Amino acid sequence: MNTAILIASAAFALIGTAVHGAHGQCCAGAKPVAHASMPCRTGDAAADHVVLMTALTIAEPANKVCPIKGGEVDAESPTRQFKGVTIGFCCPGCEGKWDKKTDDEKHALLAKHAPEAVTAIEKSKGAATPTALAANDGESAVKMARAYLAACGKADVAALDALFLDQGRATVSENASDEGTWETYRDHHLLPELKEMPGFVMTVAKEDVRTFGTTSIVRHTGSFTVPDPNHPDAPRKFLAAVTYIVVDEGGTPKIAHLHWSSRAEKRPETKAQAEGATVNDICPMTGDRVNAFHTREYNGLKVGFCDGDCDMRWDALADDVRAKRLADAIAGTTPKTPHGAQPGHDHGHGGGGDHK
- What is d(CA 319, CA 61) in angstroms, rounded to the nearest whole number? 89
Q: What is the pLDDT of residues 133-173, one digit of tens each?
A: 444 468 889 999 999 999 999 999 999 999 999 999 999 99
Beta strands, E only, the chain: 79-82, 85-88, 171-174, 177-181, 203-212, 215-226, 236-249, 252-264, 291-298, 301-305
- What is d(CA 255, CA 47) in angstroms, rounded to the nearest whole number? 44
- Does residue 16 register a pLDDT over 60? no
User: The domain 136-264: what is its CATH number?
Assistant: 3.10.450.50
pLDDT at 172: 96
Q: Please tell me the least confidently modeled range out of 62-66, 167-171, 263-267.
A: 263-267
Q: How far is CA 18 from CA 34, 56, 72, 108, in A?
A: 15, 12, 26, 35
Domain ranges of the chain: 2-131, 136-264, 273-356
Residues 6+ apart with CB under 8 A from 221: 204, 205, 206, 239, 240, 241, 242
- What is d(CA 29, CA 75) in angstroms, rounded to the nearest whole number? 16
- Does residue 182 register a pLDDT over 60? yes
